[in-house]
Structure 1
């Protein structure tokens, strides 16, 4: 990756690639002010999973994207639809020069994009940063609507969101009560309990679960500090959705299953531990991700009947 200092020195060269105002432009309100975008952009670069997910949902094939957390390509659930897409960075660091080389019409970025990065990217092409607060029930929907408008595909995205909410409501109607549930990401150093406000947990809530972090997640954080096996009793709920990101996490979970502390959990005894894809459940967001997560929830509920 190119350092930020190097990139700042290269800004003058990158600025030469700045897009001129298109003849058929629309205005979009973003976190960094009003942005003018082509009505029908064709050269799209996405720097955030929801942006890539939304673009693919809308039928747009982006030229570039960042790798998913825990991998070197896009998330597995998107790999087929994304095809041979150019990887232009990671969730933590974007390769600005790689983005510039793709000569995009528009760049779709994360709501948490630093302003210094925005300043560089906006010299390349109109850069859309949704003005959306993270970790709210409808955060992902509001982000997707901004990206849909930027792509000129609002109707498609509105329909996709409506489909997700209808499916979640159907799942909720089939719950006899509100079973408690936790979502954890298993890491070599221990289990991370995911906050109730993250994307996948909001879908669990909409599907009729009472998401419980056992008081382990500090306010404003996406997950807890690693828990010891003994402290897993704090999230010994009706259901446990358990994810891993990579082979190291898989191995750590396999080792944990041999522990008496893990085996003593009531949720383990009831066989209500559901293993899920960590890239999807703890790193993804967007309409396609929502549908895939709801499919996982539906499968778990069907298996329990």
Structure 2
């Protein structure tokens, strides 16, 4: 991630003006990637610089002033748009606009776990900036990160309840799925269709994590390198690598949709057993391959439940 930024002196001046609006109140300390950060117990003006930060904040009852655009779009992800209202967009997952961030006069910035030290040093001059310590691309990492955002917002108990509700819902859905689908019919892959071909998503990222929690056996075909979120694009000839019992197929934008529609006409695609069984489920890539957080978890569970009800009844 980089910054679209004016001169550093101008940023510091604006940051100083923004800080002058901060209300003195009790503080608590949050353990972050870059050390302990003191945060006002009653923050009001929150800016989120990652999709999972926005999700967690909304789930906890906050309405952030600004966010970054989702991958492949110019606003927040579709699943959360009706919850944020006329939110300001202050960058993308790759580039933030410092001047736009300062203009929001934040008293807390919730940043991505991948934010660099240099970028943190600048943002922290604007407002207390929380960068979660990420365990990396491992199962359950999204919950760890959600807890950090909740701690920053002084809502840890509330997040515990929210995550427990998700676990309870997933367990009920797992019982439903495992009753209807024998174990040898539950292998699944999540792939994102790009104009240059499909990329297989790691079994360790957010959406496959949710799929696994309801009983699917996630197979990333062994094509995803360790520590990476997805594979390199596969050729149509290598599509057999994702020929499992179920294929959840995501697209991010119109170009991806067009490429997928073209691929469906190819013999390589139509020969897949998962296609013949009509177990290819097209899903929203903004949600399934970009988002994370409690609200995204519920949205994915909604999709899974709809799929199972439609295919199994």
- Tell me which interval the TM-score lies in, with the shorter structure as reference length: over 0.9
2:91 is the counterpart of 1:84:
no
Decide whether the 8 Å contact of 1:22 with 1:37 is kept in 2.
no
Alignment of 1:1-305 (within 5 A): 6-17=6-17, 19=19, 22-174=24-176, 175=178, 176-177=182-183, 179-305=186-312
What are structure 1's unaligned runs of at least 5 residues?
Answer: none
After superposing the two structures, state which structure 1 stretch, 134-143 or 221-230, moved more: 134-143
Could you report, residue by residue, the CA deviation over 1:153-198 in whole angstroms, capped at 9, with x for unpaired residues? 2222211111111121122223132611000000110001001011
Unaligned runs of 5+ in 2: none
- The separation in 1 between residues aligned to 2:5 and 2:305, in whole angstroms, is 48
Q: Secondary structure at the match of 1:73?
A: coil
Would you say the 8 A contact 1:48–1:91 is kept in 2? yes
- Counterpart CA distance in 2 for 1:260 and 1:4 is 45
TM-score (norm 2): 0.93
Give the C-alpha shift of residue 18 in structure 1: 6.1
Report the Cα distance in structure 1 between the residues aligned to 2:3 and 2:61, rounded to whole angstroms.
Answer: 34
Decide whether aligned partners of structure 1 residues 14 and 32 sit closer, same or farther in structure 2, where only a CA change above 3 A counts.
farther
Displacement over 6 Å in runs of 4+:
none
Q: How far off is 1:239 after superposition? A: 0.2
Conserved 8 A contact 2:2-2:94: no
Shift of 1:116: 1.0
Matched length: 305
Distance (Å, rounded) in 1 between the aligned partners of 2:34 and 2:301: 33
Alpha carbons of structure 1 residues 83 and 48: separation in structure 2 relative to 1, 3 Å: same
Q: Distance in 1 between matches of 2:256 and 2:5?
A: 35
TM-score by length of 1: 0.95
